[in-house]
Amino acid sequence: MLEITGLSVNYGTIRAVRGISLTVARGELVSLLGANGAGKSSTIKCIAGALKAAGGSIVLEGQDITAANPEQVIRAGLATVPETRDVFPDLTVAENLMLGAYIHRRDQAGNRQNLERLHTLFPRLAERSNQPAGTLSGGEQQMLVIARALMARPRVLLLDEPSLGLAPAIVERIFEMIETLKKSGLTILLVEQNVNQALAVADRAYVMRLGAIVASGTAEEIRSGSDLSAHYLGG
């Protein structure tokens, strides 16, 4: 479904991602783990078309999207929830959601149907539909940015640290929701620092350190790997 081969990302002379390869099969939930600065966000931004690859390739369902811009990537079927969690604070929840449907703006019936489905999945957003997004709690804003990405009707969803800065009870809800999305057939690449929770929902995982992938395997293999904490802590 998503095939990344030898991908590199540079910031000037800084080599943030150094020729990594990873795959995500259809319907799979894959976690990308690693300490701060390991290169996870740079990888996500590059897949999303927000950063240019210095080398390697990104192929989505057989289509090469390595040089695609963000809109082309979304149109190809891949949506991203960046860790910045930015909502448009003065727009209502409903207006924020409709912005996610930009590429389908001529299909209003389809958008209404998708919105109804998302309201079932995120009842809290339905309740707050007409409220400015800036008045939502952190957890609700995280739900909103995920729902907004889903308005693009992606087949692959990239989630960059959805649990960042949220209270444990809210993190629990976010992970339950990620599991629900997986069960609905969505293919997911999940970047997390929250290793235990990420491995609990993942089929497979990759561990990054200093721009390279240093371990990969099933969630069970990664969990039992004695070297995980050393890699994860960057030790």
List interacting residues with ligand ATP (CB under 6 A). Answer: 11, 14, 16, 34, 36-42
CB of 36 to ligand ATP, least distance (A): 4
CB of 107 to ligand ATP, least distance (A): 34
Tokens of 188: 């997911």
CB of 106 to ligand ATP, least distance (A): 36
Please report the DSSP string for 27-77 in residue order: T-EEEEE--TTSSHHHHHHHHTTSS--SEEEEEETTEE-TT--HHHHHHHT
If the CB atoms of residues 20 and 136 are measured against ligand ATP, the closer one turns out to be 20
If the CB atoms of residues 103 and 212 are measured against ligand ATP, the closer one turns out to be 212
Cβ neighbours of residue 67 closer than 8 Å, sequence gap 6 or more: 52, 53
Specify whether the CB–CB gap between 206 and 218 falls below 8 A.
no
Question: Collapsing DSSP states into helix, strand and coil, what is residue 143?
Answer: helix
- What gap in Å lies between CA 21 and CA 125, rounded to an integer? 37
If the CB atoms of residues 36 and 130 are measured against ligand ATP, the closer one turns out to be 36
CB of 141 to ligand ATP, least distance (A): 18
If the CB atoms of residues 50 and 177 are measured against ligand ATP, the closer one turns out to be 50
Exposure string of 30-44, with b = 16+ CB inside 10 Å and e = fewer, is: bbbbbbeebbbbbbb
If the CB atoms of residues 14 and 169 are measured against ligand ATP, the closer one turns out to be 14
CB of 189 to ligand ATP, least distance (A): 13
